[in-house]
Amino acid sequence: MTSPLRRLRTLPIRSRLALLVATAVAVAVAAVAAACWLLTREQLRGELDNSLRNIGVPSFMLQSTYTECLPSGPPPDRNALPGTADLQLVLADGSRCVHKGSSPVTVEPADIRVALRLLPEALHDGTNSQGQSVRILTQRDDATGLAYSLSRPLKEVDNSLNRLALVLLAVTGLGVIGAGAAGLWVARTGLRPVDRLTGAVEHVARTEDLTVRIPVEGEDEIARLSASFNAMTAALASSRDLQSQLIADAGHELRTPLTSLRTNIELLARSDETGRPIPAADRKALLTSVKAQMTELASLIGDLQELARPEKPTAGPSAPQVVSWHDLTRIALDRARLRGPELTFETSLAPWYVRAEPAALERAVVNILDNAVKFSPPNGTVEVRLHLGELTVRDHGPGIPPADLPHVFERFWRSESARALPGSGLGLSIVARTIRESGGEIALRAPSDGGPGTEAVVRLPGAPTPPPSEVP
């Protein structure tokens, strides 16, 4: 069976908010009404008690009432009691003597204790001989020593309280109805921005239109939610534009090696089909070109895969871990020497430990060194220095024009001087991404000594010694 709380959760948020507001106001109004009724009841009873205390009973009347109870007593005293109260004497044995014209009331133990001089007075509710509820005050007369009870019906107080209860009940009902209407109005007004946000989300889901923006009004939570939605759609639109641009650029870059590869293969195939063999030297050159184009194509596809991988993982073999950057740079230098055997590498590598993805960081350093090898002149020198977390790689090539420096980390961007060289234009973009994910920064600049070439400077946070937990 479904619980009320679960059924409440199935209601629309607007209905739940209106119901909660109406319930809260109803409880508050009911509490105020109950407090008002109780205070009024105490006030009326207090006034009734004061009226009983203010009634003066003559001692002779008490004596006369007492003698009336005796079998041989004098004729009854017909004097009326002042006020509207009923009078009776309470004797020590629990009996009573009722004044003529008064309705007798039940004698309670508290009344007997007053008659026995154990209490100065007793004030309580009781019942008279007619079955009516009465308020009873029992006191002792100092002149005669007699204990007497004055009683007045509670009907006058109860009637006023009943009328007040009806009024408070009507006010409570009107308050609940008004609270429900106010809650519904508040819910509609307060959730109107949410409705706009919901409509915008549904529109985006239906049409994939990421240009939708929600007006931001004020500085409350709804305004923050709207601003966050606008930022999210803007980021998604930018991501989609970058994705489209990446696909377009990748298609453009893939078209060149594929076209050249297809041309060479068609020449080889046509030679076999026509029976006119290509000279051995030309055939070898064609095969060499095909191999180079396939290598370039494989490299481009690998770079695209690297760019397409998700952000740095938090677990697994490729998760960030403490890496010996100086050792990793030595491994990258060994690979760079194979690509430029005629070059001279001047190295100075001080110990430095960083937290990064080992494979990604090694590839980033290899890419930086490959660029230095690619642009170095024959028999040139590549200077590699690692000191206090700053890796500097300097070549002595033609350098990069100042106008091109802002674009060197863009995807597929290649300067005019590099278009004739092998490469996809993705290497530095991958390097920048890896360094950024590792918490560092990278920059290309002209050498500080004013000489030829380019300096690549990479800074990564770390320490010259590994953390204690990483020491074998």
Which among 68, 65, 60, 42 is positioned nearest to 149, based on CA atoms?
Answer: 65
Range of the domain at 402: 321-467
Q: In what order do the strands lie in the sheet with 321-324?
A: 321-324, 353-356, 462-463
347 vs 329: CA distance, rounded Å = 10
Domain stops at, among 308, 343, 374? 308
Say what the pLDDT of residue 315 is: 47
**For residues 377-395, average pLDDT:** 91
Long-range CB contacts (< 8 A, 24+ apart) of 430-433? 430/303, 430/306, 430/307, 430/363, 430/364, 430/367, 431/364, 431/367, 431/368, 433/307
In this structure, are residues 22 and 180 in contact, taking their beta carbons and an 8 Å threshold?
A: yes
Question: Is residue 56 a part of any domain in this protein?
Answer: no
State which of 68-82, 190-204, 302-316, 379-393 shows the largest mean pLDDT.
379-393
Mean pLDDT of 158-169: 86
Q: Within a 13 Å sphere around the CA of 352, how many CA atoms are in the beta-carbon half?
A: 22
Residue 424 is predicted with a pLDDT of 53
Number of structural domains the chain divides into = 2
pLDDT band at 249 (very low <50, low <70, confident <90, very high): low
pLDDT of 258 over the 80 cut:
no
Q: Please tell me the distance from the alpha carbon of residue 242 to that of residue 365, in angstroms, as a whole number.
A: 26
> Of the candidates 331, 398, 400, which has an alpha carbon nearest to the alpha carbon of residue 369?
331
Cα 437 to Cα 434: distance, rounded to the nearest angstrom:
5
Residue 85 lies in a domain: no
* Long-range contact set of residues 83-86: C-beta below 8 Å, sequence gap at least 24: 83/51, 83/55, 84/152, 85/52, 85/55, 85/150, 85/151, 85/152, 86/128, 86/134, 86/150, 86/151, 86/152
Number of C-beta neighbours around residue 379 at 10 A: 9
**Residue 393's beta-bridge partner residues?**
384, 456
pLDDT(470) > 60: no
Residue 116 lies in a domain: no
Residue 432 or residue 225, greater confidence: 432
Domain at 358, CATH number: 3.30.565.10
Taking residue 447's Cβ as centre, other Cβ atoms within 10 Å add up to 16
pLDDT at 414 over 70: no
Query: Token match 């008064």: residue?
Result: 102
158 lies in some domain: no
Whether residue 79 is contained in a domain is answered as no
**Contact in structure between 89 and 65 (CB atoms under 8 Å):** yes
Specify if 100 maps to a domain.
Answer: no
Query: Which residues on neighbouring strands pair with residue 322, listed in sequence order?
Result: 355
Structure tokens that stand for 114 in this block = 């007053």
Mode of pairing for the β-strands spanning 321-324 and 147-153: unpaired
Split at pLDDT 50, 70, 90, the class of 387 is very high
Of 308, 340, 374, which one is at a domain's C-terminal end?
308
Statement: the pTM of the whole predicted model exceeds 0.85? no
The whole-number average pLDDT for the span 193-200 is: 75
Round to whole Å and give the CA distance between 56 and 296.
Answer: 121
pLDDT of 472 > 50? The answer is: no
Cα 114 from chain centroid? Answer: 68
In this prediction, residue 78 carries a pLDDT of 47
E strand residue ranges, 107-234: 122-127, 133-140, 147-153
Residue 138 lies in a domain: no
Best CA proximity match to 151, nearest among 120, 183, 185, 105: 105
Task: Looking at the structure, tell me whether residues 338 and 433 fall in a common domain.
Answer: yes
Residues 429-466 pLDDT 10s:
778 888 888 889 988 888 888 788 889 899 999 998 88
- Specify which of 83-97, 231-245, 315-329 reaches the highest per-range mean pLDDT: 83-97
293 and 333 assigned to the same domain: no
Are 299 and 435 found together in one domain? no
Three-state secondary-structure class, residue 109: helix
Residues 276 and 343 in one domain: no
How far from 302 is each of 305, 424, 430, CA to CA, in Å? 5, 10, 11
- Number of Cβ within 10 Å of residue 206's Cβ equals 8
* Distance in angstroms (rounded) separating the CA atoms of residues 468 and 57: 99
Q: What is the mean pLDDT of residues 81-105?
A: 81
Q: Are residues 362 and 429 in the same domain?
A: yes
192-207 and 221-274 helices, crossing angle to 10°: 10
Q: Give the per-residue pLDDT at 9.
A: 61
In this structure, are 299 and 328 located in the same domain? no
Same domain, 345 and 294: no
Residues 343 and 450 in one domain: yes
Please state, rounded to an integer, the average pLDDT across all residues of the chain: 79
Whether 334 and 456 share a structural domain: yes
Residues 251 and 379 reside in one and the same domain = no
One domain for residues 281 and 346 = no
Is 59 within 8 Å of 143 (Cβ atoms)?
yes
Whether 41 contacts 125, CB under 8 Å: no
- Of 308, 332, 349, the residue at which a domain comes to its end is 308
Q: Is residue 435 part of a domain?
A: yes
Q: Which tops the pLDDT comparison, 249 or 179?
A: 179
- One domain for residues 325 and 451: yes
Q: Which two tokens stand for residue 403?
A: 């106008």
Look up the CATH number of the domain holding residue 284: 1.10.287.130
DSSP for 203-225, please give it: HHHHH--TT--PPP-SSSHHHHH
What is the dihedral sign for C-alpha 166, 170, 171, 176?
Answer: positive
Interstrand relation of 86-90 and 147-153 (parallel, antiparallel or unpaired): antiparallel
